[in-house]
Amino acid sequence: MQFDYATQILEGSQRAAARLISWLEDEDERAYEWMAKLYPHTGNAYIIGITGSPGAGKSTLTDKLARQIRKDGLKVGIIAVDPSSPFTGGALLGDRVRMSELSTDPEIYIRSMATRGFLGGMSKATGDVVRVLDALGKDVIIIETVGVGQDEVDIIGIADTTCLVLVPGLGDAIQSMKAGIMEIADVFVINKADKLGADQLSAEVCGRLSMDAHIKPSDWTPLVRSTVGVEDIGVLELWEAIRLHREFLEQSGSFHEKRRQRTYQETLRMIHTELFKAVREALQSNGRLDRAVEDILEGKRDPYSLMQKVVSEWLSIPQAQKEAS
């Protein structure tokens, strides 16, 4: 009798959730059957993104924020996206090391994930893992990204509320002014606010937000909150700011539109991934790609015309032939 992972996860089995998440990270096709069964039970959790430069104190802030959310009786899932080991592909930082005390709370589930070279500070499987934790019954899911500068914009494709963590002394006053960085945040968090330069950083961010509001008016003006994560200062105010943003999304109708866009992009990504896998396997199985690479290196052909030829052929070949190629 087949083990029913979907039922087990819906009943709160963290062990079943861990196995399914591992399959998703490994792109194991066994995961798809159970994800299809879990999908109708997802869409209930609120997703918070915690992003920012390395050294900004994101892990500590995530830890304190999770504790604050638990005080409201809400169940929390945490996805900590870490750098990949160049040897194993696994996460370099372990969840038990980073948030050891949280792991003893049965209503908090923590999962460290490796980026495995995926750009944007996110793991390719992050969106799927969010759905697993959603089905597991978590009310709030926090995604803490690895921290790779401007490529952090990927988080807005998953999170309902994105918190950009800035700290004085790391050049964030300049970094926050870059195109793309200011646009991703719904809440700005000036962490380590007890350090020299924190007030100046906060003033600069507020000034930029005020200037942007005149140039490009928006229904939501990002909030700025100051915290000292290690001392649990300002975390309650941060949680209240996140709740204010959620109220805005729900009352304005933006919540539904934001999730519609997310579903659109996720579906497109899934189709893209499977098509790429099918084409890659077909080209590698018959040695055609290796021969083409040699021809390119020898100057007999170029990769652009090869790409156009492969795409043209793939689009015109009936499915039965594709499966046999």
Per-residue pLDDT of the chain (325 residues; tens, 9 = 90+): 568 999 999 999 999 999 999 999 888 889 999 999 999 999 999 999 998 888 889 999 999 999 999 999 999 999 988 654 333 344 444 443 456 567 788 899 999 886 544 444 445 688 899 999 999 999 999 999 876 444 455 777 889 999 999 999 876 555 555 556 677 899 999 999 999 999 999 998 898 888 887 777 778 999 999 999 999 999 999 999 999 999 999 999 999 998 999 899 888 888 888 888 888 888 888 888 899 999 999 998 999 998 998 888 888 765 545 554 4
- For residue 144, what are the β-bridge partners? 50, 80
Residue 242 CA, distance from chain mean position: 17
Instruction: Please state, in angstroms and rounded to a whole number, the distance separating the CA atoms of residues 169 and 268.
Output: 40
How far is the C-alpha of 163 from the C-alpha of 160, rounded, in Å?
10
Backbone angles phi, psi at 228, to 5 degrees: -125, 90
- CA dist 210 and 225 (Å) reads 15
Could you report how far apart the first and last alpha carbons of the chain are, in Å? Answer: 35
The length of the chain is: 325
Question: Domains in the chain, please, with CATH?
Answer: 43-252 (3.40.50.300), 264-324 (no CATH)
Q: For residues 111 and 95, is the Cβ–Cβ distance under 8 A?
A: yes
Contact 125, 25 (CB under 8 A): yes
Residues 57 and 231: their CA atoms lie apart, in Å, by 12
What DSSP string describes 77-133? Answer: EEEEEEPBPTTT-SBSS-HHHHSTTGGG-TTEEEEEEE-TT-TTSS-TTHHHHHHHH
Contacts of 300 (CB under 8 A, 6+ apart): none
Distance CA 125, CA 23 (A): 10
- What confidence score (pLDDT) does residue 316 get? 79
Cβ neighbours of 39 (radius 10 Å): 13
Cα dihedral angle (170, 173, 175, 177), rounded to 10 degrees? 180
pLDDT at 176: 54
- Which secondary structure element, helix H or strand E, spans residue 202, and what is its range? helix 198-215
pLDDT given for residue 22 in this prediction: 93
